[in-house]
């Protein structure tokens, strides 16, 4: 998998992102779950495709402000 993310607002929490990434569901083993919320932090992740060929986008909001975004893609290597 390749990915690139960036912080685009204040109040970014690396600890929150690490917590989210520990919640990865077995049926979508890419980044984090589709939705995760803790306090004022909200995480969203959308994935298109399957494990053999996929692309996705994740974002973190602090209250209503987007503060982080990440694009990722990958697939099976033969």
The pLDDT of residue 30 is: 87
Q: What is the pLDDT of residues 15-74, one digit of tens each?
A: 999 999 999 888 888 899 999 999 999 999 999 998 899 999 999 999 999 999 999 999
pTM for this structure?
0.91
C-alpha to C-alpha distance for 78 and 75, rounded to whole angstroms: 10
The pLDDT of residue 65 is: 98
Q: Domain count for the chain, please give it.
A: 1
The pLDDT of residue 55 is: 97
The pLDDT of residue 56 is: 96
Domain of 57, in residue numbers:
2-75
The pLDDT of residue 78 is: 82
C-alpha to C-alpha distance for 66 and 74, rounded to whole angstroms: 25
């Amino acid at each position: 998998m390749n990915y690139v993310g960036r912080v685009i607002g204040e109040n970014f929490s690396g600890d929150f992102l690490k917590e989210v990434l520990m919640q990865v569901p077995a049926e979508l083993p890419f980044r984090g779950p589709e939705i995760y919320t803790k306090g004022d932090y909200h995480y969203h992740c959308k994935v298109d495709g399957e494990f053999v060929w996929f692309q996705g986008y994740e974002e973190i909001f602090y209250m209503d402000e987007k503060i982080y975004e990440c694009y990722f893609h990958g697939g099976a290597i033969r």
